[in-house]
Chain A
């Protein structure tokens, strides 16, 4: 590679990481690839060390109890209102005076409810981890897999567990085996609720014969189409239906039924469709939970899955149209290592194609927002403005519009360029008031920047304007 070492270090940080902090480029300039790999090899690299965060089961039960209390309070309020109306003989303005007989029920607490509080605490932990990362390659991989296996906080009862979901199944496996992550994902309550499998019932199961509700194919379809093989590959509609049958009974313990384990995963044999099922040419005998595990294991090994995952990974990090040679390398490595994701990541940063591609991809909003904060060494205690920036730019944290996740291509994000300018302007004032833009430029961008960009920053009318221009510079927005 003919790149000068600082430029290569800057690419490592902008393309594979979360953007330079002061000193980052110099720190890794002697061996940028080695530094990326070293971050993968660090013990506990994917973990978030925040002991206050709840497991998904605890969070789900706490939110359930909270919702029950809210409901009871609302019912009490309604009952009190009805009692008042009945006794007030059509004089509504008298209601208040008739109060003493029926004390007003407690008003619902103001501010965000418990699910939202949990969501915000999880999001803050995620943002803090991104700001604290040396390079951020591991965090980027976590974000990548979390988006690949996305759930949405906007689906009922996912809000309080979507952060725990990422920690429990994505982080725990992001440098492990794809098959392990796949199994953990598809048996996590967040995914089972998000894609409706929690209430999917085998038509010939005990529960199915008793009630009218039945099969829901949503999760089975998305596993095949989005999570593993990829759309229009080796499966057909009957594979979707049979696979959906296989994973009937993969559900969530009802809160009322079991206050201790409510909200956790269970295999419920009474909902499970009996019988062998043939999925993509292979018959799987009905061995309960193991039937689904076996299908997932086969899907995780499938060459179509290798190609699908390799293409997405290369597209995310390198180019909208990823170099075929790079995809080939990644897919081969995936198959050769039984889906070892750390080996995939190492292959990615060791491949010349991953470095040679022009820096044409627009950073995704979350990545860009974090890069801006890192560049000015901001660690906001209140992440409200950071979350708002994600929302405004179209990438609200853990709230994708569809199971496909947020786009990994540049075009959809170009539309938000004007919004980025407003965020850049705001961040420069909110978070960068003490930063020297010339120093930030040297530390974050200089090895990659054009003379025009340097000049625009040094000639700005004020430091905030210079920082806003720096955040908006093509070299800062593109990876």
Chain B
């Protein structure tokens, strides 16, 4: 329900995905070790195509699978080599630089335990930390916070709390959360516009015509559906600016001596069913904006960067093959992108399942070989010192069989 569970302890409270939601306390155990760790979780809503973000260029079946849409080291633009097998999308030079300097780790063929293909349910599983979709009212990050003993309030004495909305599920729950949101919310995404015009074409021609005229889109969507022409690129700058502002501001808060230490935000727009544009189109724009967000975090973290981990996760992956509209449909395994000076990085962690038809999940998706919960548990355990038994029971219930992935951090 809409009751505000954090009302008593929230301040500067506003809403929206793309908003920072931060824990108001400092983790005590890590402080006792002389560390002051920061964790920022970024949820990519809509399901990131992991194969287009981090391409298995060394897999013999890769080019056959994706054809002209396959990123390659010799392509134009050329993918950025990570190791002898994987290469990064060329829209992400900052992440590449961090990877090369040991401050970024990529986990591939990873997935939550969710095996269906609904965004809402997939996001619920990703954010709730439960094994199945259902009536979740708290997120794994919040439950992890509950288990941490606080060592003093963050934010000093500024106790003016706004009453209001509404945090993403991953940080919802009993632990007090404060929040901030950019003053300007982003405009409706190209994807939303396209879906709406498609709906209007099927249901309300007058609204379809008017909206197309108003958006200057008359040539893009036709009756019968989206047919693969690239969407208008005008919003690219806005997307970049919005991602960078949100992430940079999150980092500013986390970097402050008296600021919060743990935060989360979400970026939408990754559901690339048509005209995915991994090299020059929509996905390239989004990945570029995400890369800019990572750079903004590094910049704004300043001296705190060596103690920072940014975990970028998404609800599931996309089909291994390109569909009939130059896009990809809902799939299973994908990548998790980790960045931050606290990481023992420069590695792609993957138990690679292969891309032959027989190796694909349900004959269509990249097969999951790493449980995303293992990655998240590893980070929470090593970085924030969340107890392993708590991780297995409370943070990710019934996940004792999924061991925390060890060795993700420089100082474990």
Whether A468 lies near B15 (C-beta < 8 A) is no
Per-residue interface assignment for chain A, residues 388 to 424, with 1 indicating a CB less than 8 Å from any chain B CB and 0 otherwise: 0000000000000000000000000011011001101
Cβ-based interface call for B229 (8 A): no
Docked Cα-Cα span, A89 to B110, in Å, equals 77
Cβ-based interface call for B158 (8 A): no
Cβ-based interface call for B411 (8 A): no
Whether B45 lies near A462 (C-beta < 8 A) is yes
Chain B residue with the shortest CB-CB distance to A437? B120
List, in ascending order, chain B residues with CB within 8 A of A453's CB: 199, 203
Q: A417-B210, A464-B16, A465-B192 are in contact. List 15 more A-B contacts (CB 8 A).
A: A414-B207, A417-B211, A417-B214, A422-B187, A422-B188, A424-B188, A429-B18, A430-B14, A430-B15, A431-B15, A431-B166, A437-B120, A461-B191, A462-B268, A474-B203
A-B residue pairs in contact (CB < 8 Å), sample of 22 = A376-B2, A377-B2, A414-B210, A415-B214, A417-B210, A417-B214, A421-B192, A421-B193, A422-B188, A426-B185, A429-B17, A430-B165, A431-B165, A433-B15, A456-B198, A459-B119, A461-B45, A461-B191, A463-B120, A469-B195, A473-B203, A474-B203
Docked Cα-Cα span, A472 to B203, in Å, equals 12
List, in ascending order, chain B residues with CB within 8 A of A450's CB: 202-203
List, in ascending order, chain A residues with CB within 8 A of B210's CB: 414-415, 417
Per-residue interface assignment for chain B, residues 121 to 135, with 1 indicating a CB less than 8 Å from any chain A CB and 0 otherwise: 001000000000000
Using A421-B193, A425-B188, A461-B269 as known contacts, say yes or no to A430 and B16 having CB atoms under 8 A apart: yes
Whether A461 lies near B199 (C-beta < 8 A) is no
Docked Cα-Cα span, A450 to B123, in Å, equals 26
Docked Cα-Cα span, A477 to B199, in Å, equals 13
Per-residue interface assignment for chain B, residues 263 to 299, with 1 indicating a CB less than 8 Å from any chain A CB and 0 otherwise: 0000011110000000000000000000000000000
Question: Which of these, B1, B192, B204, contacts A425 with CB under 8 Å?
Answer: B192
Whether A472 lies near B196 (C-beta < 8 A) is yes
Cβ-based interface call for B47 (8 A): yes
Whether A462 lies near B17 (C-beta < 8 A) is yes
Chain A residue with the shortest CB-CB distance to B216? A418
Whether B188 lies near A421 (C-beta < 8 A) is yes
Cβ-based interface call for B32 (8 A): no
Cβ-based interface call for A434 (8 A): yes
CB distance from A21 to the nearest CB of B (A): 12
Q: Interface size bucket, B side?
A: 35 or more
Whether A464 lies near B268 (C-beta < 8 A) is yes
CB distance from A222 to the nearest CB of B (A): 32
Cβ-based interface call for A91 (8 A): no
Q: Which residues of A contact B (CB under 8 A)?
A: 376-378, 380-382, 414-415, 417-418, 421-422, 424-426, 429-431, 433-438, 450, 452-453, 456, 458-466, 468-469, 472-474, 477-478
Whether B207 lies near A417 (C-beta < 8 A) is yes
Whether B119 lies near A460 (C-beta < 8 A) is yes
Whether B269 lies near A421 (C-beta < 8 A) is no
List, in ascending order, chain A residues with CB within 8 A of B167's CB: 433
Cβ-based interface call for B164 (8 A): yes
Chain A residue with the shortest CB-CB distance to B123? A462
Give the contacts of B12-71 with A (CB-CB under 8 A). Answer: 14-18, 45-47
Docked Cα-Cα span, A7 to B399, in Å, equals 46
CB distance from A451 to the nearest CB of B (A): 9
Which secondary structure dominates where chain B touches chain A? loop
Whether A381 lies near B163 (C-beta < 8 A) is yes
Whether B164 lies near A421 (C-beta < 8 A) is no
Whether B46 lies near A425 (C-beta < 8 A) is no
Chain B residue with the shortest CB-CB distance to A423? B188
Cβ-based interface call for B215 (8 A): yes
Whether B185 lies near A430 (C-beta < 8 A) is yes
Whether B199 lies near A434 (C-beta < 8 A) is no
List, in ascending order, chain A residues with CB within 8 A of B119's CB: 459-462
Docked Cα-Cα span, A465 to B193, in Å, equals 10
Cβ-based interface call for B305 (8 A): no
Cβ-based interface call for B206 (8 A): yes
Whether A414 lies near B206 (C-beta < 8 A) is yes
Using A417-B210, A425-B192, A433-B165 as known contacts, say yes or no to A452 and B203 having CB atoms under 8 A apart: yes
Whether B207 lies near A452 (C-beta < 8 A) is no
List, in ascending order, chain B residues with CB within 8 A of A437's CB: 120
CB distance from B130 to the nearest CB of A (A): 16
List, in ascending order, chain A residues with CB within 8 A of B203's CB: 450, 452-453, 473-474
Give the contacts of B157-205 with A (CB-CB under 8 A). Answer: 163-168, 185-189, 191-193, 195-196, 198-200, 202-204
CB distance from B281 to the nearest CB of A (A): 16
Using A436-B120, A464-B268 as known contacts, say yes or no to A474 and B15 having CB atoms under 8 A apart: no
List, in ascending order, chain B residues with CB within 8 A of A417's CB: 207, 210-211, 214
Whether A469 lies near B196 (C-beta < 8 A) is yes
Whether A429 lies near B185 (C-beta < 8 A) is yes
Chain A residue with the shortest CB-CB distance to B172? A434
Chain A residue with the shortest CB-CB distance to B207? A474
List, in ascending order, chain A residues with CB within 8 A of B188's CB: 421-422, 424-425, 468
List, in ascending order, chain B residues with CB within 8 A of A438's CB: 120
Chain A residue with the shortest CB-CB distance to B271? A461
Chain A residue with the shortest CB-CB distance to B191? A461
Docked Cα-Cα span, A435 to B166, in Å, equals 10
Give the top 6 A-B pairs by smallest Cβ distance, nearest first.
Answer: A461-B271, A461-B46, A429-B16, A418-B214, A433-B166, A474-B204
List, in ascending order, chain A residues with CB within 8 A of B204's CB: 474, 478
List, in ascending order, chain B residues with CB within 8 A of A460's CB: 119, 195
Docked Cα-Cα span, A382 to B188, in Å, equals 23
Whether A464 lies near B17 (C-beta < 8 A) is yes
CB distance from A374 to the nearest CB of B (A): 12
Whether A461 lies near B17 (C-beta < 8 A) is no
Docked Cα-Cα span, A461 to B189, in Å, equals 11
Question: Which of these, B17, B120, B198, contacts A433 with CB under 8 Å?
Answer: B17
Docked Cα-Cα span, A456 to B196, in Å, equals 8
List, in ascending order, chain A residues with CB within 8 A of B199's CB: 452-453, 456, 469, 473-474
List, in ascending order, chain B residues with CB within 8 A of A463's CB: 120, 123
Docked Cα-Cα span, A110 to B189, in Å, equals 36
Whether A425 lies near B120 (C-beta < 8 A) is no
List, in ascending order, chain B residues with CB within 8 A of A421's CB: 188, 192-193, 196, 211
Chain B residue with the shortest CB-CB distance to A379? B2
Docked Cα-Cα span, A460 to B194, in Å, equals 11
CB distance from A376 to the nearest CB of B (A): 8
Whether B185 lies near A425 (C-beta < 8 A) is yes
